[in-house]
Amino acid sequence: MNWLGIAPFLIFALLFLLLPTLNIVLGAFRSPEGGMTLDHVAKLFAPSILKAFWTSIRISLFSALLGGLLGFLIALAMTHGGLPRAVRDPLLTFSGVASNFAGVPLAFAFIATLGRLGFVTVLLRDWLGFNLYATGFNLLSFWGLVLVYLYFQIPLAVLIITPALDGLRREWREAAEILGATGAQYWRMVALPILTPAFLGTIALLFANAFGAVATAIALTGSSLSIAPIILFAQIRGDVLQDPSLGYAIAFGMIAVTGIANIIYIVLRTRAERWIK
């Protein structure tokens, strides 16, 4: 009876997560004749595919670092900055909604806002005489995609790091002050070392979250930016470049990268929870 309540979740995870992942892994090593082969995985080392993976890793890393840092500062202001409860609760609610806002709606929102004829772009040009795109900015570029990813990366960082900041006990700060530590010394020598595993774990999770984002990148840049999710989509659903076997191998490579990031997150989260306890 104890397992009955989570049975629907276990069945859902088996059908839509574990079995599809297993099928992808097996497909990456399955030859057309049904045997095992390394030919598909070897194609991952082609220059074009390595470049796409490297671009995805860079986008994910920059968006994770920036999103984690900004999210940490927002969470810090919310938990230890004296913000009233009336601000904290709506901010957490918004973070929960914004962290799941992605795909075509998010891409359209940014195009309508910061596209060449977007609301903010036209406003800056007509009212302030500032041509945003004359500075070299391009929404359909590497940094443009990083900017779009920050919309859901920052709120996700707020949700993840807030419990760690709430776990900082008042007694620790009081003990540091009794021993003569200043506020800066408390944060540098007590709080930040305790928060470091949680922060690094947040960065790892944000990296995995950005690396697997496909709908937003395709809707925003199309084929103008070569990243791993887009070339995976082209191999599986494309009319010209269709190669399901290579698609399985690319998906396997993405699973490996995100799997490593998630393992790092789990290890660091476990260490952070040990400190909080």
Tens-place pLDDT, residues 10-30: 888 888 888 888 888 888 888
Token pair belonging to 267: 């290890």
Per-residue confidence (pLDDT) for residue 25, from 0 to 100: 87
The confidence band for 244, taking pLDDT boundaries of 50, 70 and 90, is confident
Per-residue confidence (pLDDT) for residue 275, from 0 to 100: 62
- Residue 60 clears pLDDT 90, i.e. is over it: yes
Alpha helix (H) residue ranges in the chain: 7-13, 19-28, 39-42, 47-80, 85-98, 104-114, 119-128, 142-166, 170-178, 183-186, 192-211, 215-221, 228-237, 244-276
- Please work out, in degrees rounded to the nearest 5, the angle formed at the alpha carbon of residue 72 by the alpha carbons of 66 and 73: 95
Evaluate whether 200 touches 269 at the Cβ level (below 8 Å): no
Nearest to 176 by CA among 191, 164, 197: 191
Q: What is the pLDDT of residues 68-104, one digit of tens each?
A: 999 999 999 888 877 787 888 888 899 998 998 888 8
**Which CATH class for the 43-276 domain?**
mainly alpha
Residues 245-260 have a mean pLDDT of 88
The confidence band for 38, taking pLDDT boundaries of 50, 70 and 90, is confident
CA pair distance 245, 274, nearest whole angstrom? 43
The confidence band for 7, taking pLDDT boundaries of 50, 70 and 90, is confident
- Residue 246 clears pLDDT 80, i.e. is over it: yes
More confident position, 114 or 32: 114
For 133-162, give one letter per residue: b (16+ CB within 10 A) or e: eeeeeebbeeebbbbbbbbbbbbbbbbbbb
Per-residue confidence (pLDDT) for residue 238, from 0 to 100: 57
Nearest to 161 by CA among 116, 138, 191, 125: 191
The confidence band for 62, taking pLDDT boundaries of 50, 70 and 90, is very high
Token pair belonging to 214: 């496909």
**pTM: predicted TM-score of the whole model, two decimal places:** 0.89
Locate the domains of the chain by residue range.
1-37, 43-276
- Residue 239 clears pLDDT 80, i.e. is over it: no
Per-residue confidence (pLDDT) for residue 84, from 0 to 100: 80
